Structure 1
Amino acid sequence: MRLFVAEKPSLGRAIAAVLPKPQQKGEGFIRAANGDVVSWCIGHLLEQAEPDAYDPAYKQWRLDHLPIVPQQWQLQAKAKTRKQLSVLRKLVREADQLVHAGDPDREGQLLVDEVFDFLKLSKSRKQQIQRCLISDLNPGAVKKALHNLRPNSDFTALSVSALARSRADWLYGINLTRAFSIKGRQAGVTAVLSVGRVQTPVLGLVVRRDEDIDNFVAKPFYEVFAQLALAADQAIAFQARWLPSDACAPHQDDDGRVLNRKLAENVAQRIQQQPALVEDVQRKNKNQFAPLPYNLSALQIDAAKALGMSAKQVLDVCQALYEKHQLITYPRSDCRYLPKEHLNDRAAVAGAIDHNCRDLKDVVARADFSLRSKAWNDAKVDAHHAIIPTAKQTSVDKLGSREQGVYRLIARQYLLQFYPPFEYADTRVDVRIGGGLFRANARETLLPGWKQAMPQPSSAKAAGDGDEVQSQLPALQPGQALWCHEGCIRDKHTQPPAYFNDATLLAAMTGISRFVADKTLQQTLKETDGLGTEATRASIIELLFNRQFLRREGKHIRATALGKALIAALPASTTLPDRTALWEQQLSHICQRQQNYQGFMAPLEQELNGLINEARNLDVSQLSGIRLEQPKKVSRKRRTTSARTTKPGRRRTKASAGG
């Protein structure tokens, strides 16, 4: 008997649907006519044991117990799903061949692997396990996956990476949350002050942004524009902005903005009704290729901008589109590339989009399916690929409004891969007037390419040096004489940074290198995933709201008084993204077999001792007097373990969950 172990019932049912019939449905499994059996895990059947499983004394939250570092790690069955674990135990004993059918990412790999480990499979049986990678729940795609099984041992490094992350999060979260919650109680704060390697730096980003805005003082600055004509008797043809010389540096800020209005007035007066000379003309033809298909973070960012959805809302909608409606491929992907073999499905996928979504019929019709973008790249695809529509045909009118909106985003992004690049020409002209240098920039569209498939024309971006970009400039040559009719001054004020919103906070988490202080690490991290993973970013943000560390103010995300006080009290190293960004890099190296488990865990255990010592000496005065909002009443049926353990020391708290 061959046993498929899926991560969720929905995937299990999709596998069973392509196996021989008639089928027998049992409690927690489906048996096919050929004897194959499909079962599932209902998500995590196992969880890291809580501290008191290692020592009953750890039920009490005390500083002298810390740090808690298990010598022999333990997993325990989750109470709600213990029955399904028993089903799997029996089926695994009966099976001749095991097939791992967890989700195609590192968490999905570990989730099923740890069940096999917990059931104490022999080494020889483990070596015979096969891996089935399914990212599309439609029958054709599932059949293809079943015919392309791989040795599960090929993915050992993926599982080890997830195991290292899970245990490291436990060590960091359990120990630091206990330490700082105990110190918080000394200041009168009864809530759990959870600390995590991802959640705390994310909170730190928001707190520091709020502080930058609160402390911002607007400063006036001035720009001078020359209104230029081809000759003194002709009308103004274009304008050019003044570029101050080095001699003006005492009158500029660090960004080169002129702060002295008298200087600006002097320049404007000096160039009025004066001859001008073209010093340099540069024209460059450029191509901009279509954006790649979505991974989850890129989709969440665009959905926040276009649809006003939170990260969690986007993830929930994607799960429904994937599991319930089978209209998109696996959504928790961190990859933006596709296997080359998927090109064979482009006609069927495009046909489904054309059938499903009337709004995109013109986009389908204008696509050139003989083209191939750089998205099809086997070298950049591992366990999972970009999120794309499936070939299933249905009407999106049957979906909810959010499901429709997210499906359209995914479908349009896929179709863009069959459009030519956007072609344009950037022109830069330098003009000398009265000894001063002025610059004009223009961007001319040569071929709209993929931008014709976008809902609205994209506004042109600056073509360099922050200058304003004009739609066109007259044909000019170096040495050509011009005439400046007048100089105009524009009064401006420096602007504070914007408050974070769902899109910009997600963008900050994925592009975390911009916020990393260590320049060497910053350069290294430009190619990595950033803070958290595709699967956890939404839950991290929601956790910060649930802990009352963040609040919403319209579309803005701001820190609460408690969130600000916590960041002020914590050691700076725990609030910065440097450490956790480095973790993600190291975990990626484990996946690529460039680093081992012990090389990641040993330095963490040493660092933990130092952080606990810092906690013991923490000044908690910032936390005094902080009042929390009254929590909303939760029905008994909906209470979770976390909801029952808000008072440190009374019951177990899964402080490390989600980072």
Structure 2
Amino acid sequence: MRVFFAEKPSLAQAIFEGLGGNPNAKMTNGYFEIGDNKVTSCFGHMLELFDPEDYDENLQKWSMDDLPIKAVYPPKLKPKEDAKQRLDVIFSLIKQADEIVHAGDADEEGQLLVDEILLYANNTKPVKRVLIADLNLKPVQKALANLKPNSEFEHLGHSALARSIGDQVFGYNLTRGFTLQGRKQGFDGVLNVGRVQSAVLGLINSRTLANQSHIESFYYDAMVSLSSDAGALKAKYQPSDSDIVDEKNRIIDEANAKRVQQDCEQQSAIIKELSTKQESKAAPQPYNLSTLQQTCAKKWGYSADETLETVQSLYETHKLTTYPRADCRFLSDEHLAGARDIFSAIADTMPKYTQSVQDADLSLVHKAFNTEKITAHHAIIPTEKSGANITLTPKEKNIYELIATSFIALFYADSVRDKTRAVIECNGREFVATQSVLQSQGWETLFKGEIETDQPIEGADLANMKKGQTLTCGNVSIDKKKNTPPKYFVESSLLAAMTRAAKFIEDPELRKALEAKDKNNAAESGSIGTEATRAGILTKLAENIGLVSIEEEKGYKEKVWKTTQQGQEFCAVLPKEIIAPDTSAIWSQQQVLIREGKLTVKEFVSSLDDYLEKQIAALKTNGITITPNMTLCPICKKGYLGKRKGTNGVFWGCNNHPECKTAYPDNDGKPNLTVKPKRPLTVSNHKCPNCEKGLIRRKRTKLIKGKVSYFWSCSGYPDCTITMLDRAGKPHFESARMADKTTTETAESED
């Protein structure tokens, strides 16, 4: 018997149909069955890495003494809680199988996802690999006829495993280290450090600082009004080498601008160059997830998570659109062949598109239809399912219409414009006039009101003028403009930056290394994160209000992202390679070596352990500087009050513990400072016979014969649990014994 393990249910369905199965059949007992084949599916990663506390329960408590936490290789895996039922089916099928076919997505994560299950199950059966990116019937059947040994692709899984282990040990060590050092400085909040998350925080911070440190300056545009026999026109001055300009080639000296004005006003001019070119523009490529998220953020202010959740619903619940977590913007020949059926489904789902699909030209072949350029997934488009009887939410309707319009536009002609450019010389100075005339609107008819239309010609028509023609310069106006600071990031521009992160790397070699990662994906270039993770990364950053603020600002359609004072301070203490995409680039170089068999996962992990050991050592020595957001302890004046959970509920205790044991009750999420704090315990000069730390005299919680009594315990509790009787206010050393921790804890809380 042969068993197929697909990455997701839609792929399992496509494989079943490719093997000759009935398209209307449903899974039974967690799998399809046809002939001597069984097909089941995963739901993404079914297993996850052990957490540090799974190896050592003492690591549940965060402590600088436990850092660095070394990576474990080979790592142990554990089933995800919501995957256990399906895993039981998978393990059962592995036992029954004579041959297994690995049908993970055709990328690194897809390879690891199934490989790790086979490894966890100690599989010894032969494994083949099938690579399917297009779920249409013919491409699936072609892939099924071309199975290859899975061993040829295992290096892809090794690369993904290295990144997975690396991200875990990187985050656990640095997040714990910086958070613990931040608490010492009075900052209450988790200082998350992650390879991608910290790089995005660094992008937000560098843009925030650039905007806020911007020094106001001005530049000057010169426009000349010209007259001719054909009418009037205007042209813009083009600065020359003799002008005083900024890095954008704009005049920044007012006297310089006035010299241009004096040289040209009321002078004769001549058309030095004149050219008209026809510009044809094809409809945009269909959406991948990032471009869809960017468009939804700009049009409606949807967050990346909102867009993902909505398009996931269109895919999973309603079956109206294809797989949403796509990073590719290309389609296959099968999608071209099935366009008529997709059009029919669109018109049924949204009757307002009936005329638009009727006007589409199915003989046109857009460049988006290129099977060779499909990566693990194709672009997001409507399916052939009619949504006539489906009620969509406003968000689902908006996003479906975006996806539908983008697909229909592929079957409309190019928009065509005549672009005319004239270079005009006046007294040694050059001015340029341009003109755009729409000849054919083509696909742009589907986007009325969204694409800026050409302005009607006023005055002279440049296309009717001639090279060498004489003109007369009239008034030269000088427009003084303020140099604007770099724009803050908004959600759409952050998503775009994540797909082009390499441009923020200073080192040219590292920049090339990160760009090389996406050499087969035209939609991205030097990206960080994935289509599946970017929304979650932005959500996690947005939730950390101590480091990032997201607010409305004049001049922006979307809310702007800024780092707070503490966010800026945090970025200042993080290593440069962490707050830039450099770490992703460095890892990308090493992953190439892993895929080529020149570096092992163990060597990668060992190198990362060495790096983290140095970072933690520096962190322990230097600490961090960050503005506190906690209340200073009123008693010791050194520590800060932090929320704690005790046996009697939430309270606020000093983080200078055990030196200071001040505590206050909680009052609606804040320490109630009006209540007299717990009296700090006094450490006596009497020494503990076990560890030689000072002893503390404590009051018993229960009366003995109706009287208050005392006992002595070690100030080194809980590491030392020595207790002894009290004799006339002094410790009775002969009665010393190791006490039960709970008893001491209770007594201490009553003191």
Q: Secondary structure at the match of 1:533?
A: coil
Select the residue among 67, 71, 74 that pairs with 1:72. 74
Q: CA deviation at 1:461?
A: 10
Q: CA 1:579 to 1:329, structure 2 compared with 1: closer, same or farther past 3 Å?
A: same
Distance 1:382 1:182 in 2: 42
Is 1:51 the counterpart of 2:55? The answer is: no
Distance 2:111 2:38 in 1: 20
Distance 1:448 1:355 in 2: 26
Q: CA deviation at 1:602?
A: 5.8
**Cα displacement string for residues 211-233 of structure 1 (whole angstroms, at most 9, x for unaligned residues):** 122112322222111101115xx
User: Residue in 1 aligned with 2:170?
Assistant: 172
Q: Secondary structure at the match of 1:287?
A: strand
**Cα displacement string for residues 19-40 of structure 1 (whole angstroms, at most 9, x for unaligned residues):** 46998976x6246485755544
Q: CA deviation at 1:292?
A: 1.6
Is 1:459 the counterpart of 2:456? The answer is: no
Q: Which has the larger radius of gyration?
A: 2
Distance 1:470 1:66 in 2: 73
User: Residue in 1 aligned with 2:694?
Assistant: none
Distance 2:514 2:353 in 1: 37
Q: Contact 2:14 / 2:140 at 8 angstroms: preserved in 1?
A: no
Q: CA deviation at 1:134?
A: 6.8
Distance 1:429 1:62 in 2: 69
Is 1:539 the counterpart of 2:536? The answer is: yes
Distance 2:69 2:454 in 1: 52
Select the residue among 544, 568, 573 that pairs with 2:572. 568
Distance 1:105 1:404 in 2: 31
User: Residue in 1 aligned with 2:487?
Assistant: 498
User: Residue in 1 aligned with 2:179?
Assistant: 181
Distance 2:131 2:242 in 1: 67
Q: CA deviation at 1:302?
A: 1.6
Q: Which amino acid in 1 is paired with 2:432?
A: R
Is 1:239 the counterpart of 2:243? The answer is: no
Q: Which amino acid in 2 is paired with 1:422?
A: S
**Cα displacement string for residues 198-249 of structure 1 (whole angstroms, at most 9, x for unaligned residues):** 0001011111211122112322222111101115xx752x111112332222
User: Residue in 1 aligned with 2:264?
Assistant: 271
Q: Secondary structure at the match of 2:578?
A: helix
Is 1:583 the counterpart of 2:581? The answer is: no
Distance 2:438 2:363 in 1: 24
Q: CA 1:529 to 1:314, structure 2 compared with 1: closer, same or farther past 3 Å?
A: farther
**Cα displacement string for residues 326-364 of structure 1 (whole angstroms, at most 9, x for unaligned residues):** 112211111122223332212222222232223333332
User: Residue in 2 aligned with 1:650?
Assistant: none
Q: CA 1:157 to 1:115, structure 2 compared with 1: closer, same or farther past 3 Å?
A: same
Distance 1:24 1:225 in 2: 70
Q: CA deviation at 1:530?
A: 0.8
Q: Secondary structure at the match of 2:220?
A: strand
Q: Secondary structure at the match of 2:626?
A: helix
User: Residue in 2 aligned with 1:111?
Assistant: 113
Query: Structure 2 length as normaliser, TM-score?
Result: 0.73
Distance 2:485 2:437 in 1: 32
Q: CA 1:336 to 1:471, structure 2 compared with 1: closer, same or farther past 3 Å?
A: farther
Select the residue among 240, 243, 248 that pairs with 1:248. 243
540-549 or 583-592, which deviates more: 583-592
480-489 or 13-22, which deviates more: 13-22
Q: CA deviation at 1:619?
A: 4.5
Distance 2:223 2:31 in 1: 74
Q: Which amino acid in 2 is paired with 1:241?
A: K
Point out which structure has higher relative CO (alpha carbons under 8 A, 6+ apart): 1
User: Residue in 2 aligned with 1:90?
Assistant: 92
Q: Which amino acid in 2 is paired with 1:131?
A: V
Q: CA deviation at 1:603?
A: 4.8
Q: Contact 1:294 / 1:336 at 8 angstroms: preserved in 2?
A: yes
Q: Contact 1:336 / 1:375 at 8 angstroms: preserved in 2?
A: yes
Q: Which amino acid in 2 is paired with 1:511?
A: R
Q: Secondary structure at the match of 2:193?
A: coil
User: Residue in 2 aligned with 1:403?
Assistant: 396
Structure 1: where are the runs of 5+ without partners?
Answer: 463-468, 632-659
Q: CA deviation at 1:276?
A: 1.0
Q: Which amino acid in 2 is paired with 1:571?
A: P
Q: CA 1:325 to 1:242, structure 2 compared with 1: closer, same or farther past 3 Å?
A: same
Q: Secondary structure at the match of 1:259?
A: coil
Q: Secondary structure at the match of 1:573?
A: coil
Q: CA deviation at 1:142?
A: 11
Q: Which has the higher strand share?
A: 2
The RMSD of aligned alpha carbons is 3.6
**Cα displacement string for residues 241-274 of structure 1 (whole angstroms, at most 9, x for unaligned residues):** 112332222xx33322223333323432442222
Q: CA deviation at 1:82?
A: 3.4
Q: CA deviation at 1:510?
A: 0.7
Q: Contact 1:103 / 1:135 at 8 angstroms: preserved in 2?
A: no
Distance 1:141 1:592 in 2: 32
Distance 1:499 1:194 in 2: 22
In percent, how many aligned pairs have the same letter? 33
Q: Which amino acid in 2 is paired with 1:72?
A: P
Q: Contact 2:222 / 2:479 at 8 angstroms: preserved in 1?
A: yes
Q: Which amino acid in 1 is paired with 2:174?
A: L
User: Residue in 2 aligned with 1:638?
Assistant: none
Q: CA deviation at 1:401?
A: 1.4
Q: Contact 1:14 / 1:142 at 8 angstroms: preserved in 2?
A: no
User: Residue in 1 aligned with 2:475?
Assistant: 486
Q: Which amino acid in 1 is paired with 2:472?
A: W
Q: Contact 2:566 / 2:626 at 8 angstroms: preserved in 1?
A: no
Q: Contact 1:430 / 1:440 at 8 angstroms: preserved in 2?
A: yes
Q: Secondary structure at the match of 1:247?
A: coil
- Please list, as runs of the form range in 1=range in 2, the aligned pairs for 1:259-298 lying within 5 A after superposition: 259-298=252-291
Select the residue among 161, 177, 183 that pairs with 1:163. 161
Q: CA deviation at 1:572?
A: 1.9
**Cα displacement string for residues 438-459 of structure 1 (whole angstroms, at most 9, x for unaligned residues):** 1122233333333233233623
Query: Structure 1 length as normaliser, TM-score?
Result: 0.83
Q: Secondary structure at the match of 1:47?
A: strand
Select the residue among 197, 211, 215 that pairs with 1:199. 197
Q: Contact 1:22 / 1:33 at 8 angstroms: preserved in 2?
A: no
- Please list, as runs of the form range in 1=range in 2, the aligned pairs for 1:7-22 lying within 5 A after superposition: 7=7, 19=21
Distance 2:10 2:531 in 1: 21
Distance 2:593 2:469 in 1: 57
Is 1:446 the counterpart of 2:435? The answer is: no
Q: Which amino acid in 1 is paired with 2:628?
A: S
Select the residue among 285, 293, 296 that pairs with 1:303. 296
Aligned residues: 614
User: Residue in 2 aligned with 1:477?
Assistant: 466
Select the residue among 323, 335, 341 that pairs with 2:316. 323
Distance 1:312 1:441 in 2: 42
- Please list, as runs of the form range in 1=range in 2, the aligned pairs for 1:362-401 lying within 5 A after superposition: 362-395=355-388, 398-401=391-394
Q: Which amino acid in 1 is paired with 2:465?
A: L
Q: Secondary structure at the match of 1:332?
A: coil
Q: Secondary structure at the match of 1:622?
A: coil
Is 1:128 the counterpart of 2:127? The answer is: yes
Structure 2: where are the runs of 5+ without partners?
Answer: 520-524, 553-558, 632-639, 644-751
**Cα displacement string for residues 360-385 of structure 1 (whole angstroms, at most 9, x for unaligned residues):** 33332232211112222232224322
Q: Which has the higher helix share?
A: 1
User: Residue in 2 aligned with 1:257?
Assistant: 250
Q: CA deviation at 1:135?
A: 5.8
Q: CA 1:356 to 1:589, structure 2 compared with 1: closer, same or farther past 3 Å?
A: farther
Q: CA 1:88 to 1:503, structure 2 compared with 1: closer, same or farther past 3 Å?
A: same
Distance 1:299 1:24 in 2: 31
324-333 or 451-460, which deviates more: 451-460
Q: Secondary structure at the match of 1:572?
A: coil
Q: Contact 1:273 / 1:485 at 8 angstroms: preserved in 2?
A: yes
Q: CA 1:326 to 1:545, structure 2 compared with 1: closer, same or farther past 3 Å?
A: same
Q: CA 1:20 to 1:357, structure 2 compared with 1: closer, same or farther past 3 Å?
A: closer
Q: Which amino acid in 2 is paired with 1:51?
A: P
Q: Which amino acid in 1 is paired with 2:92?
A: K
**Cα displacement string for residues 386-416 of structure 1 (whole angstroms, at most 9, x for unaligned residues):** 2222111123862111111111222222222
Q: CA 1:20 to 1:363, structure 2 compared with 1: closer, same or farther past 3 Å?
A: closer
Q: Which amino acid in 2 is paired with 1:392?
A: K
